[in-house]
């Protein structure tokens, strides 16, 4: 960076399993707040992913390309968020909020992250009202039980999920 000019670099981390319209909304809006937004696709030991890390990276890259936002890049990571953010020269963590329950968890995480690196701020964005109920976990559950997920994901992601559900089988069948 040139002397005197501080770039706003944000990291929006998540598992994106799968990426939803809510995620896309936060990416689109978060990209307006920073010079560069790094969407960090991570693993989460407490989650059982439907898609591999490589599949999720490809899915997120495809969806961001469709958004047409030029200052966003997608990077996979499997490390402590604050270490990843520092490696990206980030000074902002972008987090999306859907409900009060999200806030409680995110507030705790922001406090822990501040203890690890006080130079990196956490910024919360409220999901668009029409997108607030959407959660990847629920999208997967609906799909696994044969429900329609079109209102929650892009047509391409809907197809990705349908192919995966066909491969692993629906719940309640058999």
Q: Domain residues of the chain, as ranges? A: 9-168
pLDDT score of 4 more than 80: no
Residue with the bigger pLDDT between 171 and 146: it is 146
Catalytic annotation present for 136: yes
Beta-sheet strand order (sheet of 36-42): 72-77, 36-42, 9-14, 92-97, 121-126
To the query of whether residue 2 is one of the catalytic residues in this protein, the response is no
pLDDT-based confidence at residue 52 (cuts at 50, 70, 90): very high
pLDDT of 103 reads 85
pTM of the entire predicted model: 0.91
Active-site entry in 23, 56, 140, 158: 23
83 is catalytic: no
- The CATH code of domain 9-168 reads 3.40.50.620
- Considering the candidates 36, 61, 98, 164, report the single residue annotated as catalytic: 98
Which of 47, 83, 137, 170 is an active site residue? 47
- 47 flagged as catalytic: yes
- 97 and 109 Cβ atoms separated by less than 8 Å: no
* From 95, 136, 140, 154, the catalytic residue: 136
């Amino acid at each position: 960076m040139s002397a005197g000019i501080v770039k706003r670099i944000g990291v929006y981390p998540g598992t994106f399993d799968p990426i939803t319209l809510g995620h896309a909304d936060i990416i689109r809006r978060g990209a307006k707040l920073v010079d560069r937004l790094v969407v960090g696709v991570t693993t989460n030991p407490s989650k059982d992913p439907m898609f591999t890390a490589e599949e999720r990276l490809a899915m997120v890259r495809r969806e961001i390309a469709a958004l047409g936002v030029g200052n966003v890049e997608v990077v996979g990571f499997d490390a402590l968020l604050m270490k990843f953010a520092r490696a990206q020269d980030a000074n902002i963590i972008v987090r999306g909020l859907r409900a009060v329950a999200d806030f409680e968890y995110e507030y705790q995480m922001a406090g822990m992250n501040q203890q690890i690196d006080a130079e990196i701020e956490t910024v919360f964005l409220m999901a668009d009202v029409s997108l607030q109920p959407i959660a990847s976990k629920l999208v997967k559950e609906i799909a696994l039980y044969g429900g329609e997920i079109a209102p929650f994901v892009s047509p391409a992601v809907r197809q990705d999920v349908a192919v995966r559900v066909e491969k692993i089988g629906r719940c309640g069948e058999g």
